[in-house]
Structure 1
Amino acid sequence: MTHWLITLRAILHREALRFTGQRGRFIAALVRPLVWLIVFAAGFRAALGLSITPPYQTYITYETYIVPGLLGMICLFNGMQSSLSLVYDREMGSMRLLLTAPLPRWWLLLCKLLAGTLVSVLQCLVFLAIAVAWGVRFPVMGVLSVLPALVLTGLMLGAVGLMLSSLIRQLENFAGVMNFVIFPMFFMSSALYPLWKMREASPTLATLCGLNPFTHSVELIRFSLYLQPNPSAMGWVLLATLAFGAAAMRGYDPARGMQGKTLKGG
C-alpha cells in the first residue's frame, strides 16, 4: 500500500509541475468559459427566455444558468488536454516507463485520472470566484456541495480522454478527434440552453441531448451548486464513468488493446 501511495503522490506531483509550468494552459482554460459568460451571455440573454425550473426557485439571468455548463466545459477541455499529454508521453516513451511499473495497470491509470481531475477542480474553483465577482449568485455552501459533482465529472471526462488516448497512436491525429468529441458533447447538452428549449425546436435532438452523458454531468453540477440532490444524474454519470473507464482499461491492456501492440512493437 505504501508503494501505491508513493506512486499516486509522484504522479500528482508530476501533473502539478506540468500544469504550473504551462501558464498558457491555465489562462486558456479560463478564457474559454469567460468568453461565454461575459460576451455570449450578453447577446443570448434577450434571445433565450428561461422559465422557473429546478433547481432554481425564481427567474434567473442567462449568466446564472450557464455557469454550471461552463464548469463542465472546463472539465471537458481539461480531460481532453490530459489525454493529449498521454499521447505525447507515449510518443516520448515516458508512458511506457509508467505502464511497466510493478503495480496494477488500473491503479496507474487511475492515478493519471485523479491527477487530471484535481487540476480540473482547481480551475473550476477559480472560475467560480470570477463568476461571483461578475455578479452570479448561488448559496455559499454550494461551493462545498459541488465539489463531489466536479470530481465525478472530471473522472468521467478524463476516462473519455483516456479511452481516446488508447485508440490514437499518432499525436497529429488527436486534435481532429478531440474536436469530433468535444463539440458534439458540449453543444448537444444542457450546458447552454435547457432541454425544454431544445425539445421545442427538435424532439429528436432533445432525445440525443438526453442520452449525452455530459448533459447529466452538467445537471449534476447545477443541482449540487444549489444544494439539491439529483440521483438520476448522479446514477448516469457514475454509469458512464465506469463504462468509459472499463473501455480505457481494456484499451491499455497489453493483451488486447492497441497500446499493448505499441509496447510489443517497441
Structure 2
Amino acid sequence: MSLRPWLIAFRAITAREALRFVHQRERFLAALVRPLVWLLVFAAGFRAALGLSIIPPYQTYITYETYIIPGLCGMILLFNGMQSSLSLVYDREMGSMRLLLTAPLPRWFLLFSKLCGASFISILQVLAFLAVAAAFGIVLPLWGYVAVLPALLIGGLMLGALGLALSSFIKQLENFAGVMNFVIFPMFFLSSALYPLWKMAESSPLLRDICAVNPFTHVVELIRFALYLQLNLAALGWVLLTALVFMALALWGYDPARGLVRRKG
C-alpha cells in the first residue's frame, strides 16, 4: 500500500491547523499573556509565601518563578489542546468535519493528524514563552530547550486527545465552551503546576492524592524533568496510558455507528 495518500492527508490537515493559527493572531498573544501574568504577577506575590526545598530534578534551591515554568508550559498545551478541539465542534456545525471523516483513510489516522497539527502549534507557543521568560532572567539549561521537545509533543498529544474526546460527545459550540472551564481549571489547579505535591500533602493528604492521579500533573512533571535533561519514567507511562484512553474515547465518540456523527446525520 502506498504511503503517498497518507502523507498528503497528514500534510493537508496539519497545514490547515497552521493556517488557522496564522489567521488568529490573538490566539498566539493569548497563549503568551496567560502564563506571563502568572509568571510576572502571581509568582512575585507567592515568592515570599512559598518556600521550595531541594526536590528532583533540581540540585539546589530554586525561586518560585523557576518552579512554575514547567507548569506554565503545560498550561499552554492545555489551553491550546482545548481550543483546537473547540474548532472541531465548529467544523462539525459547518459540515467540514463530516468531509474530513469521510476521507478514504482510517478515522484514527485523520484524528491523529489533527492532534499532531495542534501539538506542533503548541510547541511553538511554548518555545516563544520560554524565550520571553529567558528575557526576564529565568534561564534554563541550554540543552533542556531541546530535550523538552519530545515531552511537549507527548503532553500536547495527550491533552489534545482529551479535548478531542470531549468534542466528540458535545453537540453545540456554546456547550463545549462551558465544559472547557470545568475541565481546564480543575486540571490546572489540582496539579503540581503551581505547588509541589509535598506542599499539597501538608494541607490535605486527600488533595495530594487527587493531584497525584491528575494526568496534567504528570505532563508537568514530564516537562519539568526534561528541561533538566532527565526522564521521569512514571510520568511518561501515565501520560502515554491516558493518551491512549482519551484517543480510544474520541474514536468511539466519532464512530458513525455509535457516536455523535451518526446522531447528527
Instruction: Decide which of 143, 146, 157 is 1:144's aligned counterpart.
Output: 146
Aligned to 2:204: 202
| Aligned-CA RMSD value | 0.6
Q: Are residue 175 (structure 1) and residue 174 (structure 2) matched?
A: no
For 1:244 and 1:114, locate their aligned partners in 2 and report how far apart those are by CA, in whole Å. 15
Shift of 1:203: 0.4
Q: Are residue 17 (structure 1) and residue 48 (structure 2) matched?
A: no
Aligned to 1:132: 134
Shift of 1:172: 1.2
| Structure 2 counterpart SS, 1:164 | helix
For 1:145 and 1:205, locate their aligned partners in 2 and report how far apart those are by CA, in whole Å. 31
The letter of the residue matching 1:220 is L
For 1:125 and 1:137, locate their aligned partners in 2 and report how far apart those are by CA, in whole Å. 13
Aligned to 1:226: 228
Query: Structure 2 matches for 1:85-124, cutoff 5 A?
Result: 85-124=87-126
Residue deviations 1:201-226 (CA, integer Å, cap 9, x gap): 00001000001000011000000000
Query: Which ranges of structure 1 fall in alignment gaps of 5 or more residues?
Result: none
| Structure 2 counterpart SS, 1:46 | coil
Instruction: Decide which of 242, 245, 257 is 1:243's aligned counterpart.
Output: 245
Identity %: 72
Residue deviations 1:71-105 (CA, integer Å, cap 9, x gap): 00000000000000000000001101111111111
For 1:33 and 1:201, locate their aligned partners in 2 and report how far apart those are by CA, in whole Å. 25
Aligned to 1:189: 191
Residue deviations 1:226-249 (CA, integer Å, cap 9, x gap): 011110000000101111111111
For 2:58 and 2:138, locate their aligned partners in 1 and report how far apart those are by CA, in whole Å. 13
Shift of 1:255: 1.1
For 1:208 and 1:223, locate their aligned partners in 2 and report how far apart those are by CA, in whole Å. 21
Contact 1:167-1:259 within 8 A present in 2 as well: no
Residue deviations 1:148-199 (CA, integer Å, cap 9, x gap): 0000000000000000000101011111100000000000000000010000
In the superposition, the TM-score normalised over structure 2's length comes to 0.98
For 2:95 and 2:51, locate their aligned partners in 1 and report how far apart those are by CA, in whole Å. 52
Q: Report the count of equivalent residues.
A: 263
Query: Which ranges of structure 2 fall in alignment gaps of 5 or more residues?
Result: none
Query: Structure 2 matches for 1:55-74, cutoff 5 A?
Result: 55-74=57-76
In the superposition, the TM-score normalised over structure 1's length comes to 0.98
Instruction: Decide which of 44, 48, 54 is 1:42's aligned counterpart.
Output: 44
For 2:104 and 2:247, locate their aligned partners in 1 and report how far apart those are by CA, in whole Å. 21
The letter of the residue matching 1:226 is Y
Shift of 1:260: 2.5
Shift of 1:258: 1.9
Shift of 1:137: 2.2
Instruction: Decide which of 20, 26, 29 is 1:27's aligned counterpart.
Output: 29
| Structure 2 counterpart SS, 1:254 | coil
| Structure 2 counterpart SS, 1:125 | helix
Contact 1:209-1:215 within 8 A present in 2 as well: yes
